Amino acid sequence: MARLRIALVAGEASGDILGSGLMRALKAQHSDIEFIGVGGPLMEAEGMTSYFPMERLSVMGLVEVLGRLRELLKRRKDLVHTLIAEKPDVFIGIDAPDFTLNIELQLRRAGIKTVHYVSPSVWAWRQKRVLKIREGCDLMLTLLPFEAKFYEEKGVPVRFVGHTLADTIPLEADKVAARAELGLSDGPLVALMPGSRGGEVAKLGGLFLDAAQIIRQSRPDVRFVLPCANAARRAQIEQMLVGRDLPLTLLDGRSHLALAACDAVLIASGTATLEALLYKRPMVVAYRLARLTFWILKRLVKSPYVSLPNLLAQRMLVPELLQDDATPEALASALLPLLDGGEEQTRSFDEIHRTLRLDASNQAAHAVLDLIAKP
């Protein structure tokens, strides 16, 4: 079996998880592979020699990016030179599209096969990026089926590989065991998930707590659980709880356990909505942005839905309350019926889970090796 040299670049922790799973699957399917590029601790544990620490690429927010732009551009330029000299059999950019799509374009022009793993949200906005993707990418690997459909229509070679979360989250979560682990008793339990970033929690935290107080007026036996992404978010929420009387348990992380334990979820739009779907918990989705940002996005976004469950179902399966529509009263009245009757949502969630549960890492590895084998 000929030795393969595979280059991968991941820019953040989620990409490190995906990359390590893909590397493991590739090694299982081909015994002699050398991995080069940029990855985090998980990818290094699978045998990657990282050219520099992945943390140098993990930059959130526009202002922070501007402060580091010179370094990022230099690193990208150096990386392209190194990879062209190393001539890998394939280059795989994992997410981080602002950094990796440009590398793919230059490497493909230099005759190196390229793969992009995890689609950017081109189907929703900045659709012109698909032209750059078509030019720079031999193969797009998508986690969601509607993304693959979009690329097919645009003439980009694509493979829907399924979602790694759908592989790892069980088809049926054990609610009783999750409650026991959290020390929570029987009775209706609502998970409040106002996001993991400071800005999100500032806009949604108080709103969700107000909604919780209204829910409790109708259902005095209800309890709440709120997983905090980190110590800063916990402090932020504790500040918002001053002067309120709510039967609320704050958790440090453990969002999956909160989802397994609860009966329904009040949740910020984002990846967490996919996790709630996979745990089969009925949900109400809310989001608020700065007024100007919302106004601009309303004009840019081409998609009729915002939340992943609705995008996956291609219909309004879960309530979406955005901006001024997201009032405590509206959230409470949308959530209350779900405490006893969210079956319509959860039946569809189960169908979607099964369509996404395809053993994504192995599917992606197959697709990569097929591309390498093509003349």
144 within 8 A of 311, measured Cβ to Cβ: yes
Distance CA 136, CA 115 (A): 9
Residue 61 has pLDDT above 80, yes or no: no
Mean pLDDT of 124-153: 89
What mean pLDDT, rounded, does the chain reach?
A: 92
Backbone angles phi, psi at 190, to 5 degrees: -110, 130
CA distance 288 to 234: 20
In this prediction the pTM is 0.87
- Cβ(66)–Cβ(36) below 8 Å: no
Sign of the CA dihedral with 359 first, then 360, 361, and 363 last: positive
pLDDT at residue 69, as a whole number: 83
368 CB neighbour count, 10 Å cutoff: 27
* Strand pairing category for 90-94 and 48-50: unpaired
CA-CA distance, 204 to 323, in Å (whole number)?
Answer: 10
Q: What is the pLDDT of residue 102?
A: 93
Q: Is 90 exceeded by the pLDDT of residue 216?
A: yes
Confidence at residue 273, expressed as pLDDT on a 0 to 100 scale: 96
* CB distance 115 to 90 below 8 Å: yes
Q: Is the pLDDT of residue 186 over 70?
A: yes
Q: What six digits make up the tokens of 182?
A: 């959290």
The answer on pLDDT for 331 being more than 80 is: yes
Specify the pLDDT at position 303.
Answer: 75
pLDDT at 66 over 90: no
pLDDT at 59: 61
Mean pLDDT within 315-334: 95
What is the pLDDT at residue 113?
Answer: 98
Q: How many CB atoms lie within 10 A of CB 98?
A: 13
Residue 246, pLDDT > 70, answer yes
Higher pLDDT pick, 342 / 224: 224
Higher-pLDDT residue of 68, 357: 357
Lowest mean pLDDT among 23-37, 54-68, 198-212, 268-282: 54-68
pLDDT tops 90 at residue 264:
yes
- In angstroms, the Cα distances linking 344 to 336, 337, 338 are 15, 12, 10
Is the pLDDT at 252 greater than 80, yes or no? yes
pLDDT at position 124: 58
Structure tokens at 204: 């949604």
317, with CB counted inside 10 A (0-12, 13-18, 19+), is buried
Cα separation of 371 and 78, whole Å? 26
Q: Is a pLDDT exceeding 60 seen at residue 375?
A: yes
| Percentage of the residues of the chain whose pLDDT score is greater than 90 | 78
Element (H, E) at 275: helix 271-278
Report pLDDT for 96. 85
- Distance separating alpha carbons of residues 332 and 330, to the nearest angstrom: 6
Per-residue model confidence (pLDDT) at position 62 = 52
Torsion angles phi and psi, residue 124, rounded to 5: -95, -40
The average pLDDT across 171-195 equals 95
| Structure-token match 């081909």, residue found | 30
Average confidence (pLDDT) over 285-299 = 77
Kindly list the distances between the CA atom of residue 68 and the CA atoms of 82, 163, 235, in Å, as whole numbers in the listed order: 21, 32, 29
Which residues sit opposite 141 in a β-bridge?
A: 117, 159
Decide if pLDDT at 63 tops 70: no
Given a cut of 90, whether residue 189 has pLDDT beyond it is: yes
pLDDT of the residue at 156: 95
**Please, which pLDDT band fits residue 65 given cuts at 50, 70 and 90?**
low
Q: What is the pLDDT averaged over residues 319-333?
A: 95
Q: Which pLDDT band, with edges at 50, 70 and 90, does 125 fall under?
A: low
Residue 13 confidence (pLDDT) above 60: yes
Choice among 115-129, 136-150, 201-215, 353-367 with the minimum mean pLDDT:
115-129
**Count, residues in the chain:** 375
Q: What would the mean pLDDT of 175-195 be, rounded to a whole number?
A: 95
Residue 202 burial by CB count (10 A; 0-12/13-18/19+): exposed, middle or buried?
middle
pLDDT of amino acid 6? 98
Amino acid sitting at position 34: E
